Amino acid sequence: MSTSTIALVTGGNRGIGRSIVEALAADGRDVVFTYNSHEAEAKEVVDAVAARGRVAEAIRLDVTRPAEFPGFADTVRRTLRTRWDRESFDILVNNAGFALHTPLGGTDEETLDRLFAVHVKGVFLLTQALATAPEGASPLLADGGRIINSSSGLTRFVTAPYAAYGAVKGAVEVLTRYWAVELGGRGISVNTIAPGPVNTDFDGGYLRDENLQQIFGGLTALGRVAHADDIGPAVAALTREGTGWITGQRIEASGGFRI
């Protein structure tokens, strides 16, 4: 049986998710990660982890389809047994997500449903499928494990027109505190990481605009917007030995944006 620490990261094929996967691998962890599309990118991440001397497995998952979660959990269990001779993993990072503009007076029901499906319903039901089990069965997330939920600086500061995105991320932060209590008896810590502006393909990659980078950098204590590789190591740090007593917390990784 492998003694490796194993993490499961949703949305690990690009952007912040990929940075999280690679940072965990750099810390000596093996990783199972999900992707919804862009299979070629997922393969690149598997290869990047292998180049660090660790093992990664990519599994396709659409987090807006809760009916697939039991089958996904079965696939994870088989993967753990086959690749690591394990029945559980140690770290869950709920990272998958997206953002859309939602101005009041210009937002339809479908947009709200999509945001809720990914950031609240999907996070809740997938965590439930992985971190709990019926009586007599063992959960996939091991006792003493860690859960890191992805939120946003937009729950603290207001940048229109992201009202709905900020609201669903606020719900994630509330879930984090509740789960810290519900899972605390098993020694599982649950925290939220909240990035500020990050130069990725978030919302169409709008922060690749140099003028916006200058504006947002001027509002940031460290003088620039973040890159994905500023966030992955921050997530990995929350899973290291010695941080297990931190739980129920919102940790903002924004470089001091608008403080």
Nearest-angstrom CA–CA distance, 251 and 13: 23
Which among 240, 155, 154, 137 is positioned nearest to 189, based on CA atoms?
Answer: 240
| Residue among 35, 162, 165, 178 flagged as catalytic | 165
Cα 96 to its chain centre, rounded Å, is 6
Nearest-angstrom CA–CA distance, 60 and 45: 14
Nearest-angstrom CA–CA distance, 175 and 16: 21
The answer to whether residues 216 and 210 touch, using CB atoms and an 8 Å cutoff, is no
Burial of 157 from C-beta contacts in 10 A (0-12 / 13-18 / 19+): middle
Residue 9's SS3 state is strand
For residue 195, the cross-strand partners are: 253
Which among 9, 12, 7, 68 is positioned nearest to 228, based on CA atoms?
Answer: 12
User: Radius of gyration (Cα) for the chain, nearest Å?
Assistant: 18
Q: Which one-letter amino acid corresponds to residue 101?
A: H
The token duo for 123 is 């996070």
- HEC secondary structure over 105-124: CCCCHHHHHHHHHHHHHHHH
- For this structure, is 162 an active site residue? no
Cα 20 to its chain centre, rounded Å, is 8
Indicate which residues carry an active-site annotation. Answer: 165
